[in-house]
Amino acid sequence: MMKEYTFAYGRGSKTFSLDESRVLQTIEMPDTPPLADIRAAVLEAIAHPIGCEPLAERVKPGDTVTFICNDPTRVANSFDFMPVLVDELNRLGVPDENMQIVFALGTHRLMTPEEMRAAVGENVASRLKMYNSDANVPADFEYFGATSRFTPVLINKRLCRSTHVILTGTIVHHFFSGYGGGRKAVFPGCAAMESIRHNHSFMRDPRSGLGKAEGNPVYDDQMEAVAMWAAGRSVFLFNGVLDAQHRFLKMFAGDWRAAHKAACAFVDQVYGVPIEKKADIVIASCGGWPKDINVYQMQKTMDNAVLAVRDGGCVVLLAECEEGSGSKVLEETCRRLKSPDAIEADLAKRFVIGEHKAYAITRLMKKAHFILVTSLDRTLAKDLFFTAAVDSVDEALKLAEKMTGADATVALMPTGSLTVPLC
């Protein structure tokens, strides 16, 4: 029997029909009730933190506070919790003029003033000074030595002068550093380009990977770097976990190590989905904007989707990519080197940010074919080695069936950027 499905695509959706007898599984998050009262949940989290004393016992009147917030490529709903945190700090004797926000851009593009206001909400934006952390301006960073893996620890100076630094954001799995959130707000979020480049070079180590923490060289290096910067400082974590509809499921606050560890355990529970069998075809949506804002961000869904498809199968990926590839270095690398193997070999000689994303994307193409449903320029899609780029899911399915058979089995991933298939 034919059944109609609607998946998120950019700021809208795409609808397609499929014989439901071919569907092995719809890979979705388990049903978890969202938080009903955001303000109460924020106050509860900071009043009963994990691994340290409550925020009210740390903050004194007249202290200064720096918040680190996410950039637009990550859904954080900062506009929900930032007004609560700022008002609570006012209550504790910290005036607005003693607080600032630094946006953790890592290697991403600078945010516009409009994007900053949208991220934290007009109320907070009108009260606090806001800054981008630009990894490409060496003078903006302070040196704290080198990690045991020789990564230079260069952290944005705006994080180094406040009485307290509050790391905010949300947590999802990360394809090579294990998990987002926690220490990533500082490193790589507010680190210099050379620091990020050296740390990310460990992504090629087989011990790195999705859902891997201790023992993952990328994760361990980040933790060591942040510990060097955090020594003698008041560093407090506030992280949330969202569902596919961007609703808060739970909030975690406290010690930047202990609270994050507890949050990651919860992430495994709500994002990990057992599957019995891998499918011939996976139809996956990133979950819409901003998860599919560009190829750079879309790649995280590719990593999840490939876990649900058999070797040599097809992934039909819904990703609008309204901002194109998201990286000129990514584009140039693929055009210059012309094959996944050549990209891997070149990256082994010298690790380059942007080129690492070319490696991350094309290594997956050795396992499965990727057909994009996208607005991405067709020539660019071909340059990036995608099997095809089309306008509709139906068109993509016809191409996939030519490679896998008309009766090929299908797995559906409506929120592919979040769900991690566990086989």
Q: For residues 285 and 9, is the Cβ–Cβ distance under 8 A? A: yes
Residue 254 lies in a domain: yes
Mean pLDDT, rounded, for 201-219 = 96
Residue 32: inside a domain, yes or no? Answer: no
**Confidence at residue 229, expressed as pLDDT on a 0 to 100 scale:** 98
What does pTM read for this prediction?
0.89
pLDDT in tens, 400-421: 999 999 899 999 999 999 999 9
Contacts of 355 (CB under 8 A, 6+ apart): 329, 330, 333, 343, 346, 347
Q: What is the mean pLDDT of residues 378-385?
A: 97
Structure tokens at 200: 């990310």
The answer to whether position 219 is within a domain reads: yes
Q: Report the distance separating Cα 325 and Cα 323, nearest Å.
A: 7
How much is the average pLDDT of 282-303? 95
Answer yes or no: is pLDDT of 1 > 90.
Answer: no
Domain co-membership, 264 together with 279: no
Q: What is the pLDDT of residues 111-125, one digit of tens each?
A: 999 999 999 999 999
Same domain, 225 and 306: no
Residues 64 and 205 in one domain: yes
Confidence of residue 280 (pLDDT cuts 50, 70, 90): very high
Domain region containing 49: 38-270
Using the CB atoms, write b or e for 389-409: b if 16+ within 10 Å.
Answer: bbeebeebbebbbebbeeebb
Looking at residue 376, its pLDDT comes to: 97
CA proximity to 183, closest of 207, 147, 150, 137: 147
pLDDT tens for 86-141 read 999 999 999 999 999 999 999 999 999 999 999 999 999 999 999 999 999 999 99
261 lies in some domain: yes
Residue 423: pLDDT over 90: no
pLDDT score, position 137: 98
Provide the 3-class DSSP secondary structure of residue 208. Answer: coil
Would the pLDDT of 173 be above 90?
A: yes
Q: What is the mean pLDDT of residues 344-359?
A: 92
Average pLDDT of the chain to the nearest whole number: 96
CB-based burial label for 158 (10 Å; 0-12, 13-18, 19+): buried
pLDDT band for position 244 (50/70/90)?
confident
**Average pLDDT, integer, range 334-350:** 94
Residue in 210, 225, 355, 259 with CA at minimum distance from that of residue 51: 259
Assess whether 315 and 227 both reside in one domain: no
What percent of the chain is modeled with pLDDT above 70? 100
**What's the domain count of the chain?**
2
Same domain, residue pair 231 and 281? no
User: Which one, of 309, 20, 297, 69, lies nearest residue 181 by Cα?
Assistant: 69
pLDDT > 90? residue 7:
yes
My answer on whether 346 and 261 are in the same domain is: no
**Residue 155 and residue 225: Cα distance in Å, rounded?**
9
Q: Which of 270, 303, 332 is at the close of a domain?
A: 270
pLDDT of 33 above 90? yes
| 261 lies in the same domain as 289 | no
Share above pLDDT 90 across residues of the chain, in percent, rounded to a whole number: 95
User: Do 414 and 306 share a structural domain?
Assistant: yes
When pLDDT is averaged across residues 12-31 and rounded to a whole number, the result is 94
pLDDT at 75: 86
Name the residue among 252, 274, 275 with its Cα closest to residue 264. Answer: 252
- Both tokens of 103, joined, read 């946006």
> Is the same domain home to 229 and 377?
no
> The domain that contains 323 carries what CATH number?
3.90.226.30
**CATH number of the domain residue 243 falls in:** 3.40.50.11440
In a domain, 174, yes or no: yes
Buried b (16+ CB within 10 A) or exposed e, 90-122: eebebeeebbbbbbbbbbbbebeeeebbebbbe
Q: Is residue 241 part of a domain?
A: yes
Residues pairing with 421 in the sheet:
273
Whether the Cβ atoms of residue 5 and residue 17 lie closer than 8 Å to each other: yes
Domain end: 270, 299, 320, which one? 270
Whether residue 111 sits in one domain with residue 76: yes
Bigger pLDDT: 307 or 75? Answer: 307
200/252 same-domain check: yes
pLDDT at 397: 97
Q: Is the pLDDT of residue 354 over 90?
A: no
Q: Are 112 and 75 in contact (CB under 8 A)?
A: no
What is the DSSP code string of 74-100?
Answer: S---HHHHHHHHHHHHHHTT--GGGEE
Position 257 confidence tier, pLDDT thresholds 50, 70, 90: very high
> What's the pLDDT band for 248 if we cut at 50, 70, 90?
very high
Q: Residue 357 falls within a domain, yes or no?
A: yes
Domain end among 213, 238, 270: 270
Per-residue model confidence as pLDDT tens digits over 297-336: 999 999 999 999 999 999 999 999 999 999 999 999 999 9
pLDDT of residue 319: 98
Position 278 scores a pLDDT of: 98
Residues 265 and 280 placed together within one structural domain of the fold: no
Domain assignment present for residue 287? The answer is yes
